[in-house]
Amino acid sequence: MKLKAFLPLVTHPDPNSDAVAAHAVAVARQFGADLHVLVVNVDIPPVSNALSDLLLDLPNKIRQAEEQSRARGAHLLDRVEHQASAAGVPLSTEEVSAGPAFLYEKAATSARYFDLDLVGWEKGNPTSRTLAEAVIFGAGRPTILLPEHCDIGTLKHVAIAWDGSRVAARAVADAQPLLARCEAVSVITVIDEKPLAELDAGERLADGLRKRGLQAEATRIKAGDAPVGVTLQEQAIQLGAGLLVMGGYGHSRVRDFILGGATEAVLDDLRLPVLLSH
């Protein structure tokens, strides 16, 4: 079955850089996926207040913000179309508008209709961070975070962060279509971060993957004083993996998310493409 990948681009207030276009197309090409791009531009309700019109010139500022949003959306869409055409990736696109409070919700709900979500991540860009959280925890679909300053190399070697938990198992299940296309799998278990129900959990998963025809090996490591999310990423890179698969911990609190340690560390310091599943 051919995969359908989804790339949301929220263009306000801090849109993605051009890197997201090349990264998303590179991932779609390697997994043989069709790519659908949704550009979400901002539509700011008018403010009718004589004082604000006179002193703050709000109507003009609103118009400028909307024009900048649409212009940036059109530019990013052009970059994706150029990259997809060059790579031979089937592409479909759409543009929508939403109020400032609903930009991320629109992206998350639209993401539910695809097999795989791709989200550009940029350090210091709050829009990309908020979009990532909204899609990871609101779409119900596996999401690959694409770091801006990282070449998307071969994704034939995939690492799995494994602790035997329900969310880790969900992540492995969601990643099955991608694992079926890879050549090697490394199962990484951090043994000093928290008590594990089974000390051989990583080997058990690797053994199960081997019985399914995958080339899988288990690795046990210690995080020490380093954040576990950073340790997992560094180990994946050291093993030669191009993608890390892990479960995303989090629960809603009036639309905010309290993140588990590993998830938060990944979102704070993304070092390679990471598939998060919640």
Question: Are the CB atoms for 46 and 59 separated by under 8 Å?
Answer: yes
pLDDT band per the 50, 70, 90 thresholds, residue 174:
very high
Single out the residue of 156, 146, 143 nearest to residue 115, CA to CA: 143
Q: Who wins on pLDDT, 63 or 110?
A: 110
Residues 6+ apart with CB under 8 A from 73: 9, 11, 15, 39, 40, 41, 95
Residues 6+ apart with CB under 8 A from 219: 186, 187, 188, 189, 202, 235, 239
**DSSP assignment letter at 52:** I
Instruction: Give the pLDDT mean for 26-55.
Output: 84
Instruction: Give the pLDDT mean for 230-259.
Output: 76
Half-sphere exposure in the Cβ direction for 231 (13 Å, CA)? 20
**pLDDT for 204:** 96
Share of the chain above pLDDT 70, in %: 92
pLDDT at 81 exceeding the cut of 90: yes
**pLDDT for 56:** 66
pLDDT band per the 50, 70, 90 thresholds, residue 246:
very high
Single out the residue of 30, 123, 29, 25 nearest to residue 76, CA to CA: 25
**pLDDT for 51:** 54
Share of the chain above pLDDT 90, in %: 76
pLDDT at 129 exceeding the cut of 50: yes
**pLDDT for 14:** 95
Q: Measured between alpha carbons, how far is residue 35 from residues 118, 120, 224 in Å? A: 10, 14, 40
**pLDDT for 120:** 97
| Helix (H/G/I), strand (E/B), else coil: 25 | helix
Compute the CA torsion angle 128, 131, 136, 139 (nearest 10 deg).
Answer: -150
The Cα 109–Cα 256 span in angstroms is 17
pLDDT at 257 exceeding the cut of 50: no
**pLDDT for 176:** 96
Q: Scanning the structure block, which residue is given the tokens 């971060």?
A: 193
pTM over 0.75? The answer is yes
| Helix (H/G/I), strand (E/B), else coil: 163 | coil
pLDDT tens digit sequence for 2-18: 999 999 999 999 999 99
pLDDT at 142 exceeding the cut of 70: yes
pLDDT at 245 exceeding the cut of 90: yes
Range from 33-37, 59-63, 112-116 carrying the lowest mean pLDDT: 59-63
Radius of gyration of the chain (CA): 20
Q: Who wins on pLDDT, 88 or 262?
A: 88
DSSP 96-134: EEE-GGGHHHHHHHHHTTSSEEEEEE-TT-HHHHHHHHH
Per-chain mean pLDDT for the chain: 90
